[in-house]
A and B are shown apart, each in its own frame.
Chain A
Amino acid sequence: DVVMTQSPLSLPVTLGQPASISCRSSQSLVDSDGDTYLNWFQQRPGQSPRRLIYKVSNRDSGVPDRFSGSGSGTDFTLEISRVEAEDVGVYYCMQGTHWPPWTFGQGTKVEIK
């Protein structure tokens, strides 16, 4: 199984400041079709997961442009350019290249300082 490792697991941030979350996979996520199936999800307190980013860097509809995804191979990053109060929650990366199983990272809890 592909293991997804996120860091940090806890991220206190100041409103208006940038934030960055790292996600590393135990093997390359480049698929035989050339795409890389790495997603990012946000889970606000008491809510369902919401997909923010698919295939490394594509923002889902309605996702603010302060969220961006980057990376390749085994190393990926989610960046928030200027953290807002509504960004508090847990963020997960997930790989969809080597399945089953589809695997998630442990989650990174973003909170306001």
Chain B
Amino acid sequence: EVQLVESGGGLVQSGGSLRLSCAASGFLFSAYWMHWVRHSPGEGLLWVARITSDGSSTMYADSVKGRFTISRDNAKNTLYLQMNSLRAEDTAVYYCTKSFEYWGQGTLVTVSS
């Protein structure tokens, strides 16, 4: 059974940093692209970042480019999202997803201004 479990969310001040993790199990993690997607009441669902199976290529939404970094550790079956220079508009539930087919339960990030 595919499982994706996010962690690392919380309350942070504007300008601060957080690192999200996504622990994967039930599939060959190292063979798949992975994505981060966020959801907020005002924005709906927004794709945030993608990383290839070996971690050699990453892509970002314009709204987070230069501030967020997606990475992975295939030995630990874990996906990461390093979020720097956080803004109030980054407040959302962040999900990791395998090919948009499987999703984690999400982790809430709240940025206070």
Contacts and interface: CB of A to CB of B under 8 A. Distances in A.
Do A and B associate with each other?
Answer: yes
A90 B44 CA distance: 9
B46 interface: yes
A39 B45 contact: no
Given A48-B106, A49-B103, A60-B101, A103 B95 contact: no
Given A41-B45, A92-B45, A94-B45, A102 B35 contact: yes
Interface string B82-113: 00000000000001010011011110000000
A109 B104 CA distance: 22
Given A39-B100, A48-B106, A107 B45 contact: yes
A76 interface: no
A92 B100 contact: no
A6 B44 CA distance: 12
B3 to A, nearest CB: 12
Chain B interface size, as a band, is: 20 to 34
Contacts of B11: none
Given A60-B101, A100-B50, A102-B35, A49 B61 contact: no
Interface in A31-50: 39, 41, 43, 48-50
Interface string A91-103: 0101010011111
Nearest to B59: A100
29 contacts: A39-B100, A41-B45, A43-B45, A48-B104, A48-B105, A49-B37, A49-B39, A49-B95, A49-B97, A51-B101, A60-B101, A92-B44, A92-B45, A94-B45, A94-B100, A99-B59, A100-B59, A101-B59, A101-B61, A101-B62, A102-B35, A102-B50, A102-B100, A104-B44, A104-B47, A105-B44, A106-B44, A107-B44, A107-B45
Interface of A: 39, 41, 43, 48-51, 54, 60, 90, 92, 94, 96, 99-107
A-B pairs, top 7 by smallest CB distance, nearest first, are A102-B47, A104-B45, A48-B103, A100-B59, A107-B44, A101-B47, A101-B61
